[in-house]
């Protein structure tokens, strides 16, 4: 068996084209574009890259974007003031606080400050709580797991009653992913670094979401034949054959999994391009809600 390869680039491109068209219509109707504000705190080397990527993605779909960038030495008050500035800006409809924040910053306090109507990352504790509760809906769901759900849908997976195994329990991916799968009526197992026998759980899974941050961790012979595999990992490994001297690989050993899985996402070109795309889609949704709720400016 050779798995269907789920092409995140293609799916993300299609969604971005839709977002771009809807953003143009929104701008024409309201006189202002959807706006995304981001807070980047700390000298994390990846951050500068994220700032550029997010700015470019916004430009490509016709969004306004603003970034609050601060060094590792920033204070709690400065980070909170940056969030407040974006909360109060009527041309910003979605706010992203890039994680992780520097270790001395109280992350929960910062995320709590984000206006719920602008919480396009879905990381406000209230939104995470609502995501986990039966019959409740958060205002937004986190971008990466939302992208995984879109890939599963594109692969034609029926999650109802399916055994889904999430490997990894991070606040950014594993935890919200498990909650979203549960909401979709899957039977969910979360494996992590302390799980005794991960292979045993993976062998039973109809759907595997690998988000553990270990290159080539999941082997093809762990998988149930026909399983659908979504690889969230982006691990940089040395490669002397690559002109850069390195390349990115997933948490799944793609070559061995390809012959057992029913469908599998690639790295790069799987979940990666979906993340920013879902953030843009959430921002458009936030802008549309904002415009719907804006009262006409009646004078006199
Ligand atoms: N850091 C790594 N992934 C993400 C993400 O999706 N959102 C935010 N805010 N920070 C991240």
What is the 100 CA–ligand 1 centroid distance (Å)?
8
- Please state, in angstroms and rounded to a whole number, the distance separating the CA atoms of residues 75 and 70: 9
* 166 and 260 belong to one structural domain: yes
Specify if 300 maps to a domain.
no
* 227 and 151 belong to one structural domain: yes
* 75 and 189 belong to one structural domain: no
- Please state, in angstroms and rounded to a whole number, the distance separating the CA atoms of residues 250 and 276: 18
- The catalytic residue among 22, 68, 118, 121 is 121
Atom of ligand 1 nearest to the CA of 143: 6
CATH code, domain with 233: 3.40.50.720
Q: Is the CB of residue 206 below 6 angstroms from any atom belonging to ligand 1?
A: no
Specify if 296 maps to a domain.
no
Specify if 170 maps to a domain.
yes
Asked whether the CA dihedral 47, 132, 182, 175 is positive or negative, the reply is positive
Specify if 4 maps to a domain.
no
Whether the Cβ atoms of residue 203 and residue 184 lie closer than 8 Å to each other: no
CA dist list (Å): 217 to 11, 31, 222: 26, 49, 10
- Please state, in angstroms and rounded to a whole number, the distance separating the CA atoms of residues 271 and 148: 6
* 156 and 250 belong to one structural domain: yes
**Substitution candidate for ligand 1 out of 98, 100, 113 with most atoms within 8 A of CB:** 98
Q: Is the CB of residue 172 below 6 angstroms from any atom belonging to ligand 1?
A: yes
Specify if 205 maps to a domain.
yes
Give the chain's residues under pLDDT 50: 300
What is the 98 CA–ligand 1 centroid distance (Å)?
5
* 76 and 39 belong to one structural domain: yes
- Please state, in angstroms and rounded to a whole number, the distance separating the CA atoms of residues 47 and 183: 32
* 219 and 159 belong to one structural domain: yes
Q: Which domain range does residue 53 map to? A: 30-115
Percent of the chain scored above 90 by pLDDT? 94
Q: Is the CB of residue 139 below 6 angstroms from any atom belonging to ligand 1?
A: no
**Residue after which a domain boundary falls, among 96, 115, 134:** 115
Q: Which DSSP category does 57 fall into?
A: H
Specify if 277 maps to a domain.
no
* 177 and 247 belong to one structural domain: yes
Specify if 65 maps to a domain.
yes
* 161 and 212 belong to one structural domain: yes
CATH code, domain with 46: 3.40.50.10860
Residue 144 neighbours by CB distance under 10 Å: 23
Two tokens at 148? Answer: 């995984």
- The catalytic residue among 22, 68, 98, 206 is 98
* 92 and 205 belong to one structural domain: no
* 93 and 150 belong to one structural domain: no
Q: Tell me: the pLDDT tens digits for 261-296?
A: 999 999 999 999 999 999 999 999 999 999 999 856
Q: Is the CB of residue 179 below 6 angstroms from any atom belonging to ligand 1?
A: no
Specify if 175 maps to a domain.
yes
* 259 and 221 belong to one structural domain: yes
- Please state, in angstroms and rounded to a whole number, the distance separating the CA atoms of residues 259 and 198: 20
- Please state, in angstroms and rounded to a whole number, the distance separating the CA atoms of residues 91 and 82: 15
Question: What pLDDT score was predicted for residue 297?
Answer: 57
What is the 225 CA–ligand 1 centroid distance (Å)?
32
* 76 and 160 belong to one structural domain: no
**How many distinct structural domains can be found in the chain?**
2
Question: What pLDDT score was predicted for residue 296?
Answer: 62
Question: What pLDDT score was predicted for residue 295?
Answer: 56
**Residue after which a domain boundary falls, among 115, 134, 158:** 115
Q: Is the CB of residue 99 below 6 angstroms from any atom belonging to ligand 1?
A: yes
Annotation says 88 is catalytic: no
């Amino acid at each position: 068996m050779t798995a269907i390869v789920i092409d995140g680039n293609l799916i993300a491109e299609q969604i971005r084209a839709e977002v771009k068209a809807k953003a143009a219509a929104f701008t024409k109707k309201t006189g202002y574009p959807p706006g995304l504000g981001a807070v980047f705190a700390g000298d994390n080397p990846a951050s500068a890259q994220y700032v550029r990527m997010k700015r470019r993605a916004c430009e490509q779909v016709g969004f306004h974007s603003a970034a609050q960038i601060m060094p590792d030495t920033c204070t709690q008050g400065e980070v909170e003031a940056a969030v407040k500035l974006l909360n109060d800006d009527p041309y910003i409809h979605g706010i992203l606080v890039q994680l992780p924040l520097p270790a001395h910053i109280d992350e929960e306090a910062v995320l709590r400050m984000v206006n719920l109507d602008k919480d396009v990352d879905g990381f406000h504790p209230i939104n995470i709580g609502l995501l986990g509760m039966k019959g409740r809906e958060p205002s937004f769901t986190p971008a990466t797991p939302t992208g995984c759900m879109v890939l599963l849908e594109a692969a034609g997976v029926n999650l109802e009653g399916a055994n889904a195994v999430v490997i990894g329990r991070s606040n950014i991916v594993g935890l919200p992913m498990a909650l979203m799968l549960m909401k979709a009526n899957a039977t969910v197992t979360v494996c992590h670094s302390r799980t005794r026998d991960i292979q045993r759980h993976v062998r039973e899974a109809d759907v595997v979401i690998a988000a553990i941050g270990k290159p080539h961790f999941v082997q093809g012979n762990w998988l149930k034949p026909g399983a659908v595999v979504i690889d969230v990992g982006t691990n940089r490994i040395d490669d002397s054959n690559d002109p850069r001297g390195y390349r990115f690989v997933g948490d799944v050993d793609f070559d061995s999994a390809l012959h057992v899985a029913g469908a599998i996402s690639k790295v790069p070109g799987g979940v990666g391009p979906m993340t920013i795309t879902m953030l843009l889609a959430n921002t458009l949704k936030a802008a549309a809600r904002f415009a719907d709720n804006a009262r006409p400016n009646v004078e006199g």
